[in-house]
Amino acid sequence: QVQLVESGGGLVQAGASLRLSCGASGLTFSRYGVGWFRQAPGKEREFVAANWSGSSTRYVASVKGRFTISRDNANNTVYLQMNSLKPEDSAVYYCAAGSFSFLSSIFDRSYDYWGQGTQVTVSS
């Protein structure tokens, strides 16, 4: 019954901004920690950002200061605002939900529900 759906990806030039959205059915985001991961061709899935326990956040060093994870609980939606995009940000981006805290937030095994992904391509 649970379904997470990402949207907002696309093809942009380096330096541009995108906002990814993740909507959920069968699950209330406010009761879960949420995260964003990404996977580029030939590479392992990589942790990007997480939010849990209301206000706690964590980011991979390469996006800190450029990306922001946020929620709109009224619309049961999670966002990833991506600014100053770089070609190395190109990947399929996935949203996920689970129960975790700081140490476990970076591991995909900590998340029980996953979206199908949305493609982000940044040209140089």
Judged by DSSP in three states, 27 sits in: coil
Tell me how far apart the alpha carbons of residues 41 and 120 are, in angstroms, rounded to a whole number: 12
Check residue 54 and give its pLDDT: 86
User: 77 and 95 in contact (C-beta within 8 Å)?
Assistant: no
Check residue 109 and give its pLDDT: 97
Q: How many CB atoms sit inside 10 A of residue 76's CB?
A: 15
List, for the chain, all residue ranges whose pLDDT scores fall below the cut of 70: none
pLDDT, tens digit, 9 for 90 and up, residues 46-61? 999 999 998 999 999 9
